[in-house]
Amino acid sequence: MYIKGLFTKGIFTKSMNKKGVSPELTARPVLSQNGLRQCLRVAGGGTLGFVVSQLMGWNYGVFFTVFPMFLLGMVPILNGHIIRQFLANVSLNVLEVSLVVGLLKHMPVVMTLVVMGIFLFRFNLMAKGPLFLFGANGVLTLSILLHFASYPNVDLSDLLACNLVASGLAVFIAMLMHTLFPDVEARKPSPRVTKTSSQIRHETLIGGLTATLSFVVFQVFDLQGSLSAQMATILVLFTLGYSGAKVSAAKRAVGTLLGCNLALLMQLLLYTQSHHLLLVVLLYWLGLMLFAREHIHEGGGSGIGFGGLTTLGILFGQSLGPQQDLVYSALYRFSSMSVALVLTLLMMACLHVVLNRWAPTRLPPSNPA
């Protein structure tokens, strides 16, 4: 329930102080000891994943940079239940992608219907709560895998193998980071949220149908360099509602813009020295620490901090090299992500209105999301 509480009560709940001023407009407090430890875990884990993928020369570096960030940033604790959800999702994703791409690639309509069913199943788990991490990680990973698998020159076996290795490595890195930087105080579990059946159906349909539309768009158009845009369209759905998605989209756009600008500054500082791994790692770690601090201040969730973290992870995991143009990659990713978020919000707004007109999928009056 930790990650569910972060998305429902974290960055999307604004409170006012005694003077009627939003805390976001006042000086931010110093990080707690637990917050500092989580910053170190996120930055250290993301950096370690990047270093291992670079040293080993593995393909799909984005898996090795983003997976540790997701596991360490979205969930402030690590236990057997979380690890089992993460690894079970990886195994199921490999089976799903193998069947969907291997057997149904020549039947786009049937493939789309099967993918929609998978997404609806995952969002139903997210809406109910206890298996939120399993559903959220499944939707995100499946979207990335289908994005890569749609390229005709991609070796599907290599893609799935890298996903398995990166997921196992992410769990090992998370365990190592929690051992090196453990929490000082025990964290309080998030309160369990009670939902009506109509609210669960509403959240399931608005998430599953929007994710399916994102899948269709990225299959129809040749958007090979738009992984950030596709990830953005999925991450904003984790709020399970249109109102939360609006706030998440705005913050993710800011985080992506800041991440792109910081990546450009890093390339300017490195210039032709990007082959010196030690210099790259030092700058990368500093950038992750900066965004991890913002992520913790926001209370978790897909906000400015996590947007910056994933942007750096994607740019460094895919586009860092002496023969690659990080400037073009950064500018293209921000522009494509902005368009994708606007279209996603339009789709969610339409679905929100339609679903609220039907009693079995209508949100309760006290829940405007």
| Lowest mean pLDDT across 80-84, 174-178, 221-225, 247-251 | 221-225
Report, as an integer, the average pLDDT of 226-232: 76
pLDDT at 5 over 60: no
Do residues 141 and 148 lie in contact, with contact meaning Cβ atoms separated by under 8 Å?
A: no
pLDDT for 46 equals 92
Per the document, the length of the chain is: 369
Q: Token pair 């829940």 is at which residue? A: 367
Helices 304-319 & 326-356 angle (0-180, nearest 10): 130
Measured distance CA(174)–CA(13) in Å, rounded: 28
Instruction: Match 């201040």 to its residue by tokens.
Output: 297
Q: Quick one: which of 67, 39, 34, 38 has its CA closest to 52?
A: 67
Q: Is 163 a residue whose pLDDT tops 70?
A: yes
The alpha carbon torsion through 238, 241, 244, 249 (nearest 10 deg) reads 60
The percent of residues in the chain predicted with pLDDT above 70, rounded, is: 83
Per-residue pLDDT of 117-127, as tens digits, reads 999 999 999 99
- Under 8 Å between Cβ of 81 and 189: no
- pLDDT number for residue 18: 43
Q: Which of 75, 175, 177 is nearest to 132 (CA)?
A: 75
What sign results for the dihedral spanned by CA atoms 121, 8, 211, 154? negative
Q: Name the phi and psi angles at 315, rounded to 5.
A: -65, -45
Is 39:31 a contact under the CB 8 Å cutoff?
A: yes
Domain boundaries, the chain: 33-182+196-361
Per-residue pLDDT, 335: 78
Determine the pLDDT at residue 41: 94
Tell me the pLDDT band of 206, cut-offs 50, 70 and 90.
very high
pLDDT of residue 26 exceeding 80, the answer is no
| Least reliable range by pLDDT among 257-266, 318-327, 344-353 | 318-327
Q: Please, what sign has the CA dihedral across residues 166, 235, 253, 31?
A: negative
Q: Distance between CA atoms of 150 and 153, rounded to whole angstroms?
A: 9
Interhelix angle 80-104/108-128, rounded to 10 degrees, is 170
pLDDT digit string (tens) for 72-130?
A: 988 888 888 889 988 998 889 888 888 888 788 788 889 889 999 999 999 999 998 88
Neighbours of 28 (CB within 10 A): 10
